Amino acid sequence: MAGHSKWANIQHRKGRQDAARSKLFSKLAKEITVAAKMGDPDPDKNPRLRLAVREAKSQSVPKDVITRAINKASGGDAETYEEIRYEGYAPGGVAVIVEALSDNRNRTASNVRSLFSKHGGNLGETGSVQFMFDRKGQVIYAASVGDADTVMEAAIEAGAEDVESDEETHVIWCAAEDLNEVSTALEDSLGEAETAKLVWKPNITNDLDQEAAEKVLRLINALEDDDDVQNVTANFEMSDEVMAALAG
């Protein structure tokens, strides 16, 4: 079984159209600017910035875009963004967490509420679905980095909690507060990861058939398309057959 995180990874591997890729670059640059503005502009002294830069590089964001985003934080023209989390339900009772960076809370709230409503979901109160997720550090490597035993050994040595391996990836989980330390140790032993970031990991999941999955993914795609939305996480699972049908 696989859920939203694996589906998102498959979509990333398949590549994105130019417009979506440009939007992704913009969101990653925004996170870099916010991280640099909140802490030290040197990634080596700022764990959040270091992870943001690593994520941007894993998505092939050009070096000059990353540098410009960091420099923007120290200039007077950097917007002030507020971190906001929204929680709600997609069709079928699927729990959804939306993370946004906004310079206009009212605009963002209105847009997110409208998207939930338009796609058959309901926006809830803060805390209404968070209990169905755990905040975790996630580090992903391609399967080619080594076999499951090799990666498991490296992960344990680095202080990780768990590893999920399949034919395409090794997904390494750790405590949220340990992500910087674990990802740095893994980089020493396994090389640079495909991605290393904080995520909401579902602890309760809903199994969806193709029709239900299509409805949920329409909402998720619409939310991810909003300029203020940085991340969307949902607690659904779907079989490999359903995933293959949707990907086709």
Q: What angle do CA 155, 203, 9 make, to 5 degrees?
A: 60
* Tens-place pLDDT, residues 161-195: 999 999 889 999 999 999 999 999 999 999 989 88
* Tens-place pLDDT, residues 198-222: 999 999 999 999 999 999 999 999 9
* Tens-place pLDDT, residues 76-95: 666 788 999 999 999 999 99
248 within some domain = no
What's the distance, CA 207 to chain centroid? 21
Alpha carbon distance 159, 3 (integer Å): 25
Phi and psi dihedrals of 231, rounded to 5? -145, 145
Same domain, 141 and 195: yes
Alpha carbon distance 235, 132 (integer Å): 8
Q: Is the dihedral of CA 219, 222, 225, 226 positive or negative?
A: negative
The model's pTM is: 0.86
Phi and psi dihedrals of 160, rounded to 5? -75, 165
Please choose, from the candidates 143, 181, 145, the residue with its C-alpha nearest in 3D space to the C-alpha of residue 160: 181
Total domain count for the chain? Answer: 3
Task: Using the 3D structure, point to which of 74, 93, 114 is the last residue of a domain.
Answer: 74
Range of the domain at 164: 132-202
Same domain, 147 and 183: yes
Same domain, 160 and 55: no
